[in-house]
Amino acid sequence: MKRQQTKGFTHLINSTKYSLKGLKTALYETAFRQELFLAVILIPLALWLGKNKIECILLIASVLLVLVVELLNTGIEAVVDRIGSEYHELSGQAKDLGSSAVFITLLILFITWAGILLF
């Protein structure tokens, strides 16, 4: 279904609705829920443990980056699943690459937190 083109404030309202719809959809994904739970714990912890504004921003940004990449990974998986359920090497690669992106983002989170809190 093609969405109707809008402009100005109406476009902003519609874009916000679609974004919230996407977040609601993501809540059905186990990995996103787990990472969101982690964010609920880590973001307040970042505000408490960060020694200055820059540290707080880096700690929080690394957590939010994981959520963003997980949303993109979920989008990739949805598109691949939409195309078909039969196995195709490229479909497997797309899903693996999305998963790898999440993994690397989790490494960034770990390195950021370890670097700020331990050094």
What's the chain's Rg over C-alpha atoms?
17
CA 3, CA 5: separation in Å to the nearest integer? Answer: 6
CA 7, CA 15: separation in Å to the nearest integer? Answer: 11
Identify whether the C-beta of residue 107 lies closer than 8 Å to the C-beta of residue 100: no
CA 32, CA 89: separation in Å to the nearest integer? Answer: 25
Which are the catalytic amino acids?
A: 70
From residue 117, alpha-carbon distances to 44, 59, 76 in Å are 15, 10, 34
Q: What is the DSSP letter of 111?
A: H
